[in-house]
Amino acid sequence: MKLLKPLLIALAVLCPAVAQAQDFPNRNIRLIVPFPPGGPNDIIARVVGKRMEEILKQTIVVDNRSGQGGVLGTDLVAKTAPDGYTVGIASAGALAISPSMEKVAYDTLKDLQPVTLVAKVPEMLVVATSVPASNMKELVALAKAQPGKLNFASSGPGSMPHLAGELFKLTAKIDMTHVPYKGAAPAITDLLGGTIQVMFTTVASAAPLVKAGQLRALAVTSSERNSAFPDLPTVAEAGVPGYAAESWYGLFAPAKTPADTIALINKSVAKAVKSPNFNTLAANEGLIMVGGTSEQLKTYVDGEEARWRKVIKDANIKLE
C-alpha cells in the first residue's frame, strides 16, 4: 500500500496532462507575432494561421506584440503556460542575434520549445547603378582597391542586413563602411540617390527596383538560388566561397509544452507550407518555405546562434 500510494498520486497528476494532449485543441490558439502588422513576419504568420485553422479546426488569433526587434514578443511566448494554446513566430534576430548583443530575459532553447522552421528569407546584394561593378568579383576588386570608401547601408545595427554585410567583409577580406538607417526605406532612398553604394536587403523590397533598372543586383545571400531570380547567382557562386546569410522565421512554443501537442502543431504547419497560398507568398516575397521537425529546428538555431555570435565578436559589433 505504501508503494501504491505514490504511484496513484503520480497517475493523478499525469492523467489531466494526457487528457489535455489528447483533446488538443479545444479552444482558440494565440499566435504571437513579435513585430507590427504588415511585415514579413506578420504576413507569414497570417497565411500560416489561416491554413492551421482549417487543419486543426480551431480559430488562430494573431496577436502582434512588437518591440525590441522581436525580443519582447518572444519573451512573452517563453513566459506563457506550456499548454500549446500560445505559440509564436520567432525570428533570427530575436533568437540567434540579440542574445549575443544585449541582455534578454529568456534562454533561447531552455525557455522555448522549437516546433518547426517555417521560412527562410534571403537578402539580395544590390549596388547603385553608378557603382562600376557589374558582378561580384568586380565589386570585391573595387572594395580592395579603395578600402573603406564604399558605404553599405543597413536597416539598423544588429539587423540581418548589417550582419550580412559584416559577414561579407570578413569572408571576402574587404573593408566597407557601415551606415545604419532607421529602417530599410530611407536606406534604399539614399542607395537610389548614390549616397550609399551597396546594400543587403530583402528580395521583395529590391525586386521592383532591380526589374526597373534603378538598382543592380549582384547576388542573393542564401545557399541556394532564389526562385524569383533564378539566373542570379548566390554570393558563394559569384566568387565568395562559404558565404551564406539569411533571415528566418520559426514556430516556437513555451518550454515543457507536451510532445504530442508539439507534434500536432508541427504536422499542421507542415501541411500549411505546402499549400498553394504559400507558393504564391513565396513567389511574391522571395521566401524559401521549409518545414521540418522540432529537432531539426533546434539544431539549426544552435548553429545560427554560434555563427552570428562569432561574426558579432570578430566585427566588434555593438548596439548604439
Is residue 88 in some structural domain? Answer: yes
Are 51 and 74 within one domain?
Answer: yes
Is residue 149 in some structural domain? Answer: yes
Are 97 and 131 within one domain?
Answer: no
Domain of residue 35, CATH code: 3.40.190.150
Q: pLDDT tens-digit profile of 199-212?
A: 999 888 899 999 99
Is residue 4 in some structural domain? Answer: no
Are 202 and 291 within one domain?
Answer: no
* Torsion sign (Cα): 141, 147, 153, 155: positive
169 in Cβ contact with 88 (< 8 Å): no
Percent of the chain whose pLDDT exceeds 70 = 93
The pLDDT-based confidence of 228 (bands split at 50, 70, 90) is: confident
Full residue range of the structural domain in which residue 107 is found: 26-121+246-314
Q: pLDDT tens-digit profile of 21-69?
A: 568 999 999 999 999 888 888 888 998 899 999 999 999 999 999 888 8
Are 199 and 283 within one domain?
Answer: no
Are 94 and 108 within one domain?
Answer: yes
Are 35 and 76 within one domain?
Answer: yes
What angle do helix axes 184-193 and 203-211 make, rounded to 10 degrees? 30
Domain of residue 184, CATH code: 3.40.190.10
Res 191: pLDDT: 96
Is residue 96 in some structural domain? Answer: yes
Are 109 and 254 within one domain?
Answer: yes
Q: Distance (Å, rounded) from C-alpha 98 to C-alpha 101?
A: 5
Given its phi and psi angles, is residue 56 left (phi above 0), alpha (psi -120 to 50 degrees) or beta? alpha
Res 306: pLDDT: 94
Res 135: pLDDT: 96
Res 22: pLDDT: 64
- pTM, two decimals, is 0.85
Are 183 and 112 within one domain?
Answer: no
Cell numbers for 211: 526589374
- Listed residues 163, 185, 220: the one ending a domain: 220
- Listed residues 183, 205, 220: the one ending a domain: 220
Our CA angle for 59, 275, 298, nearest 5°, is 80
Is residue 16 in some structural domain? Answer: no
Average pLDDT of every residue of the chain: 90
Q: Which residues contact 168 (CB under 8 A, 6 or more apart)?
A: 125, 174, 176, 200, 235, 240, 243, 245
77 in Cβ contact with 87 (< 8 Å): yes
Is residue 279 in some structural domain? Answer: yes
Is residue 52 in some structural domain? Answer: yes
User: Which of 165, 163, 93, 155 has its CA nearest to residue 127?
Assistant: 165
Are 163 and 93 within one domain?
Answer: no
In the chain, what is the straight-line distance between the N-terminal and C-terminal CA atoms, in Å? 65
How many domains does the chain contain in total?
A: 2
Is residue 296 in some structural domain? Answer: yes
Are 172 and 194 within one domain?
Answer: yes
Are 160 and 215 within one domain?
Answer: yes
Are 106 and 38 within one domain?
Answer: yes
What integer is the mean pLDDT of 217-226?
A: 93
